[in-house]
Chain A
């Protein structure tokens, strides 16, 4: 009989152990507290407050923090709207978007023709393309390196492009540059910054030179921007590139001016917002306007996205807000539902 009691005991005991674990972690079922930060009003706050529903967003991990921050600010205006944001990457995001699984697709580049055709083939034809922020890529060297102030796209191609493979000094890679050891640090292939840098700086020159549009392979790649910064700090004649928002807050590094053909421009918030600094890229969201017509929560969210809240959100997560005119154009595109064709 003792044995049969054992038998009966062990399953319930297992369940009890779970509830103990659960109870120890539990007891906080109340609603999350809202952030006390100021939000920009949309002018229709009363209407917005009563909206409820769900908005699903996926796409670029670069744009992801902007969409999340906007959702956090929006939460104070429309507490009943549930916004889910994911960041698997721009390409994966468009796949979901074109399958109708998401309402908004975050993108760190514009939609490709093939992706657009995919969307249209699936009956997702009403798509609004909105520019939401600008991201600059900073090219850096060690703060103590006085020999270099400005680099041209050609020099960057020599130093970082595939033709630079195997060179160990600046002069060897590109004639006219100082004869000093070249220690290269940059993001790895999985990074959006890696792709952007190739698209903006290397692609055209690689086409002219008849080589693959990629970087040399003999540099120290890292997915962690901190590691890249540490690399730059560790060598007096280092060279590397990371997102501007990250570089501007780092110490011990010098942000180089870049000449894209119109003279040397230093990376600052203003020169990036105006696209004057050549190594900058625009960040986008793509909204399914059909879905918006059926989902007031989506309309309210995008209304809020293109309002003044956008500049606040973009600044807070470390990107460069749009200039006034560009911001106004984004809002206008949304409100007039100007579709891509």
Chain B
């Protein structure tokens, strides 16, 4: 009886709505908006990279090797202008962060995720670690200043030599510690419960279960998180300024692997970039030098990130 109630007009309309190619206008619009978000991000990044790369050619294009070997100088036209001292500082800061923050951070995450009971106290601790990850980096610089330079607690300044690469590295290790704990914690949480139950099922102790199942499974995630936090540490300038990184001139230029210079005055790549950018008001050539230092820092970070990605892919393949 229905067909009778529906007149010819509405029948035609229904037929049209079924046969017509449907255009989901709003869906399309949404997709375009999302695409433009991505495009804006990429465009900004591209503009940044292109301008920095173009600016840097004055230094990197003509005297790459000298620039990598050179030191902080008063004039941008100086033949021995370069970033060797900054690379020494940044390299050792990275190493100190890796040696200190990674084991402690991953250890704390293992405890929080696998051992600690779920109660108000641990929830409180976790919330606080998350808050610590959001604390401005300058505050960590002040902590480093009080702890490692002024020796207000434990007299640690005698160990670090005051204003030194060691102090800078320890300060930044403290800075990334919460980030390492959080990202490692997430990685442990992503390990399927079945793996743990399976290990217990064949009689493994908790330690054996963590060692043979949880850690290997979580390794790629941990690796990604920790290396991203390392990239953050290498790019930080503000805490290092408080720890006394030198902006003007550093008398010594130690070899890259000269451990003996770790407790001497130091500088780092982000500090050099800041300083040279400020100097470009007086001596325009420093703008090109700052751009070149940015390129070197970017390469440094990209190499670390690609190492992380390669390692992660390896682990994931093995995990199968």
Contact = CB atoms under 8 A, between A and B. Distances in A.
Interface string B55-69: 000000000010011
Contact of B212 (A7, A55, A64, A223): A7
B80 A245 contact: no
Contact of A316 (B75, B98, B258): B75
Interface stretch (B13-21, B87-95, B115-123, B171-179): B87-95
Interface in A215-252: 223-226, 243, 245-246
Contacts of B74: 65, 68-69, 72, 316-317
A4 B216 contact: yes
A53 to B, nearest CB: 10
Interface of A: 2-4, 6-7, 10, 13-15, 17-18, 20-22, 24-26, 28-29, 31-36, 54-57, 61, 64-65, 67-69, 71-72, 81-88, 223-226, 243, 245-246, 316-318
Nearest to A10: B219
A36 B250 CA distance: 19
Given A13-B311, A14-B223, A17-B311, A54 B251 contact: yes
A210 to B, nearest CB: 34
Contacts, number: 148
Contact of B304 (A17, A85, A88, A223): A17
A21 B307 contact: yes
Contact of A246 (B255, B265, B282, B318): B282
Given A10-B311, A69-B74, A18 B98 contact: yes
Contacts of A15: 98
A13 B223 CA distance: 11
B311 A83 contact: no
Contact of B282 (A2, A32, A57, A318): A318
A84 B245 CA distance: 11
B136 interface: no
Given A14-B98, A25-B87, A35-B79, A6 B219 contact: yes
7 A-B pairs with least C-beta separation: A82-B251, A29-B255, A17-B307, A85-B248, A68-B74, A85-B249, A69-B74
Contacts of A26: 256-257
B150 to A, nearest CB: 10
B80 A223 contact: no
A32 B70 contact: yes
B2 to A, nearest CB: 65
A6 B213 contact: no
Contacts of A243: 282
Contact of A28 (B68, B91, B248, B279): B68
Given A17-B311, A72-B73, A64 B78 contact: no
A81 B251 CA distance: 8
B145 to A, nearest CB: 12
A299 to B, nearest CB: 16
B303 interface: yes
Contact of B79 (A4, A6, A20, A33): A33
Contacts of B211: 4, 7
Contacts of B70: 32
A91 B141 CA distance: 20
B132 to A, nearest CB: 24
B219 A7 contact: yes
B302 to A, nearest CB: 10
Given A86-B247, A226-B280, A318-B282, A69 B75 contact: yes
B149 to A, nearest CB: 10
